[in-house]
Amino acid sequence: MHKNWYRGKWRVSKEVAPIVVEMLNSLTKRGLEIKSEGEIYEFFSYHPVEHWEGEKNIIEHQIILFAALFPDAVINCEWEKIPDKNWQKTWYRYFKPQRITSRLVILPPWEKYQAKPNEITIRIKPGMAFGTGTHETTQLCLKKMLALYPKEKPQSLLDVGTGTGILAILGAKMGIKDIMAIDTDPVAIEAAKENVKLNNIRNIQILLRSLEKIEKSFDWVVANLETSLILSRANCLKSCTKKTLILSGILKGEVEVIKSVLDLPCREINSLKEWVCMLF
């Protein structure tokens, strides 16, 4: 049990908040305490005193890189030493059921919830990897999958960059039988396996593997990735897709370059704040 902690008090412009949050979650695996969202995101990160020096050095190096890439953005952090926190109570306070649509609710593992008829619930342990349902790109994917499934009834799904496994889990709960979830981050693989177990799912194959090594194709391919990763893997994404490709993690200003590089008919574009989900 850690006795003392350092807390980072963050103020970050909304355009860079997702990458800063992802960096912190990947580094600490402890989750964040979100205070407010808007033009400026405010949140806390927590660091055991015995790990703080090393984590602080990595964080400050990353901040320098982010500041160079986004010179007009606000990326500020103030550090303070605090006494031990009761982390279980922190999770209970800040992670409550989140309704994505009238049919889908995302829950933390400890939350008691009585599902309504025809309602899908997914339990996700927060703080280990990207994709708890709070970020716009994840919500866009979830909504598109829910809307599209009754029309297409896919039999197979590939979730590229699975993170917490939330998209693969939704696929299984909708009725898709053959599901593969891949990621190149061991932390994400660990998180996805834990969340699949939490949801009592047994038909998802979770692999620490790059997309380039996938040799079969799937009715649906879903990829919630940064645009640079989508562009660099465009040919692989196309070759793995039998029928439908769902892409998210894309900013509105990046739509045309995605269309150009993929060179596929774009069937639909949905947006949430500055993010879009593209259906091919």
pLDDT in tens, 87-106: 545 555 556 778 899 999 99
Confidence band, pLDDT 50/70/90 cuts, at residue 1? very low
What is the H or E stretch that residue 42 is in? strand 40-48
- Would you say residue 169 has pLDDT above 80? yes
**What would the mean pLDDT of 157-169 be, rounded to a whole number?**
95
155 in the same domain as 88:
no
Amino acid (one-letter) located at 200 = N
Amino acid (one-letter) located at 271 = S
* 92, 122, 142 - which closes a domain: 92
**What would the mean pLDDT of 97-125 be, rounded to a whole number?**
88
86 in the same domain as 170:
no
- Three-state DSSP state, 177: coil
**Which residues fall within 8 angstroms of residue 265, CB to CB, at 6 or more apart?**
280
Q: Domain limits at 11?
A: 4-92
**What would the mean pLDDT of 8-13 be, rounded to a whole number?**
92
**What would the mean pLDDT of 29-52 be, rounded to a whole number?**
80
44 in the same domain as 161:
no
- Would you say residue 149 has pLDDT above 70? yes
- Would you say residue 170 has pLDDT above 60? yes
* 67, 92, 117 - which closes a domain: 92
141 in the same domain as 68:
no
- Would you say residue 37 has pLDDT above 80? no
255 in the same domain as 180:
yes
- CATH label of the domain that carries residue 249: 3.40.50.150
pLDDT of residue 128: 52
The helix, strand and coil proportions of the chain, stated in percent and rounded to the nearest 5, come to 40, 30, 30
Q: Tell me whether residue 110 is in a domain.
A: no
- Would you say residue 147 has pLDDT above 70? yes
The model's pLDDT over 57-90, given as tens digits with 9 standing for 90+, comes to: 999 999 999 999 899 999 999 998 877 655 545 5
Q: Tell me whether residue 106 is in a domain.
A: no
- Three-state DSSP state, 139: helix
- CATH label of the domain that carries residue 47: 3.30.70
Q: What is the pTM of this model?
A: 0.72
The model's pLDDT over 213-242, given as tens digits with 9 standing for 90+, comes to: 999 999 999 999 989 899 999 999 999 999
